[in-house]
Amino acid sequence: MKTRKLQSAFLAILFAASLALPVTIALSGCTTTQQTTTYVTLNSTELATTAAYDAYLDTAIKNNTPVAEVAKVSKVYNTFQAGMRIAITAARGNTSAETPPTVLTQATNVKLAIAASK
């Protein structure tokens, strides 16, 4: 049980750090007279959310998580994936484009579903 809590905490920290990293880098960088715009890209959102989901599935298999719980998380993840496809299409395949707020919300929902499942 302790390992499961540690894994949950690690996944939550990993997900939050991956979304906050671009902002942290921009704020701690050199000061210039130019205005710098920092945003979370579609690519970084996809990578962070998929990594969290994959880690959840690995943990679910090891801990024999009930199928109904896995199905709930998978449904939320599939909704996120649909949102990503729409966002990438709208960005004309540019995965360096800013992640729309709706997709960021869906990514957060995946994280919350994972946390609730544990």
Residue 118: band (very low, low, confident or very high) from pLDDT cuts 50, 70, 90: confident
Count the alpha carbons within 13 Å of 29 in the hemisphere toward its beta carbon: 14
The length of the chain in residues reads 118
For residues 111 and 89, what is the distance between their CA atoms, to the nearest angstrom?
24
pLDDT digits (tens, 9 = 90+) for 11-53: 555 565 566 555 555 555 555 555 555 568 999 999 999 999 9
Model pLDDT, residue 49: 96
Model pLDDT, residue 71: 96
pLDDT digits (tens, 9 = 90+) for 43-89: 999 999 999 999 999 999 999 999 999 999 999 999 999 999 999 99
Residue 103: band (very low, low, confident or very high) from pLDDT cuts 50, 70, 90: very high
Model pLDDT, residue 40: 86
- Token readout for 5 is 């809590």
